[in-house]
Amino acid sequence: MQSDPIGLEGGLNTYGYVFSNPLKYSDPTGKNAVSGAIIGSTFGPAGTVIGAGIGLIGGYLAGEAVREMLNESFDDDNVTPLPGAKPPPEQCDNEEKDKGCEALRSSMLSSCASLKGKARMKCIFSAEDAYNQCMNEK
Amino acid sequence: MKMVAKRVLFYSEKGSNIRNKFIIRIGFPYLVDEDRVDFTVGDEDLFGCHIETEGLKDEYQHEVYGVDEVQAINIASDIEPFLIRLQKKYDLYWQSGEPYFED
């Protein structure tokens, strides 16, 4: 599990790039998050080193993805559940997804707080776009 | 709620011919109090707009934000994403009877 190595520069929530749920989501393409730590814990000491390396690179790329989200639009096609992750119960699915989309927006809005002027305005537009895409992809 | 704009539309349940009126209202922009939101506002002012519906089975309430009143209203007035979501559940119509969405 890798927090965003760019720290708070990418937002107060350093797990925002995985919808604040690093245990459930990963990013096999490297655009969002990488489950390096999980690889490490699965394959022992050697795997830990490899996993940590992958996690470091993946975390950096994830930070870039957050920047991309703020500048362009949100694309959660790259976020896939980890193998073996259990889906949430059907009846709570929509409510949980609503909360997930709202958490995503809040995380992005928090990131906007440190910006000023036009950059802040664009950031808020991006947060709202990300929220709408998230909600409409349900 | 002090209202700045509204849109009146009709909806019907999928497969039903019964049309019901509903209203989407956009509230007057207000200065956001950081203690009342779940995100960091920062040093600069942030403005919010409340959006709500009346007439739907599942009433909708939402807040949108902007660096000033104009951006808050701008975002609030873009109700299409909400209506696209609603279209998955209902058929939507203008007051004239035309379908809201072309497709």
> Predicted confidence band at A32 (pLDDT cuts at 50, 70, 90)?
very low
A102 vs A34 pLDDT, higher one? A102
pLDDT of residue A94: 77
Answer yes or no: are the C-beta atoms of B90 and B12 closer than 8 Å: yes
Query: Judging by beta carbons within 10 Å of its beta carbon (0-12, 13-18, 19+), is residue A111 exposed, middle or buried?
Result: buried
Indicate if ipTM > 0.85: yes
pLDDT of residue A131: 96
A31 vs A88 pLDDT, higher one? A88
Is residue A57 within 8 angstroms of chain B, CB to CB? no
> Predicted confidence band at A31 (pLDDT cuts at 50, 70, 90)?
very low
B14 vs A76 pLDDT, higher one? B14
The H or E element that residue B24 is part of is strand B20-27
What residues of chain A, 106 to 135, have a C-beta less than 8 Å from chain B?
Answer: 106-107, 109-110, 112-114, 116-117, 120-121, 124-125, 128, 132, 135
The H or E element that residue B70 is part of is helix B69-77
